[in-house]
Amino acid sequence: MTIPITFETDDPFDFDAEALLRQVITAVLDSEDCPYECEIDVLLTDNGSIREINREERGIDAPTDVLSFPLVAFASPASFDRLEEDPTLFHPETGELMLGDMVISVDKVLSQAKEYGHSIRRELAFLAAHSSFHLLGYDHETEEERLVMEEKQETVLKELGITRE
């Protein structure tokens, strides 16, 4: 598993954020029985940078907490059937499935943890789980999709012992 993590901001966390991100992403992939070693690039940035990315990529001129840029168009969420038919989905040197990119606003992690009354660690873990499920093809456009995604996120975080504190 390759999970490069880049900080564009100073690391404000009093815990090992990189280890937490890797733990959560791995747990999500395991929960979905991913049969491949994967690559996910993670960028931790500030509100200004994520706002710019959000504007350029989605046409929304506002900061957001997390952006997910999947490289795999799953037929249905976490359906790994037939992916091997498209060799461009796999890194030519490592053979890992390239799932996509995750961008997280550190500013939003800090403010939302305070707003929602839980730890900064929990907020970062939640956003990583949320984005990981998006990279696996899950969405929350409908109420049914939202409920499925929320349940999956909470299950993974609970299994990791990361609860609202």
- Enumerate the domain spans of the chain: 5-159
Span 6-53, pLDDT tens digits? 999 988 999 999 999 999 999 999 999 999 999 999 999 999 999 999
Query: Tokens in use for 59?
Result: 């046409």
Q: Kindly tell me if the per-residue pLDDT of 165 is higher than 70.
A: no
CATH architecture, domain defined by 5-159: 3-Layer(aba) Sandwich (3.40)
Residue 127 burial (CB < 10 Å; 0-12/13-18/19+)?
Answer: buried
Write down the pLDDT at residue 53: 97
Span 106-123, pLDDT tens digits? 999 999 999 999 999 999
Phi-psi region of 33 (alpha: psi -120 to 50; beta: other; left: phi over 0): left
Query: Using CA atoms, how far apart are residues 65 and 47, in angstroms rounded to an integer?
Result: 8
**DSSP strand pairing (5-7 vs 38-45):** parallel
Structure pTM? Answer: 0.95
List 68's β-bridge partners, or say none. Answer: 102
Span 123-143, pLDDT tens digits? 999 999 999 999 999 999 999
- Secondary structure of the chain in HEC code, one letter for each residue: CECCEEECCCCCCCCCHHHHHHHHHHHHHHHCCCCCCEEEEEEEECHHHHHHHHHHHHCCCCCCCEEEEECCCCCCCCCCCCHHHCHHHECCCCCCEEEEEEEEEHHHHHHHHHHHCCCHHHHHHHHHHHHHHHHCCCCCCCHHHHHHHHHHHHHHHHHCCCCCC
